[in-house]
């Protein structure tokens, strides 16, 4: 399991799905990333830093946003 820092680009409040940009990569955007339901929707604003957990580095769709700050 890997944990990476990213910037939140967008968040869908209805589906709890996010688009994030990994820190250190100006080109890599990850779309359709699941967000943990314990994170308040008010905290999920574009530009915030998030922690993304990767259970398998080769399957980004299995990642989850686990924290925001």
pLDDT interval class at 27 (50, 70, 90)? confident
- Amino acid 54: pLDDT: 95
The answer to whether 18 touches 48, Cβ cutoff 8 Å, is no
SS3 11: strand
Task: Specify the CATH class of 2-68 in words.
Answer: mainly beta
Neighbours of 68 (CB within 10 A): 18
Q: Where are the domains of the chain?
A: 2-68
Average pLDDT of the chain is 94
Q: Given a cut of 90, is residue 2 above it in pLDDT?
A: yes
Q: Using alpha carbons, select from 20, 28, 25, 67 the residue that is nearest to residue 47.
A: 20
pLDDT interval class at 61 (50, 70, 90)? confident
pLDDT interval class at 22 (50, 70, 90)? very high
| Global confidence as pTM | 0.90
């Amino acid at each position: 399991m890997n944990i990476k820092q990213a910037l939140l680009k967008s968040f869908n409040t209805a589906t709890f799905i996010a688009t994030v940009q990994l820190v250190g990569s100006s080109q890599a955007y990850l779309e359709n990333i699941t967000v943990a339901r314990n994170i308040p929707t008010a905290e999920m604003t574009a530009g915030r830093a998030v922690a993304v957990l990767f259970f398998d580095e080769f399957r980004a769709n299995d990642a989850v946003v686990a924290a925001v700050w």
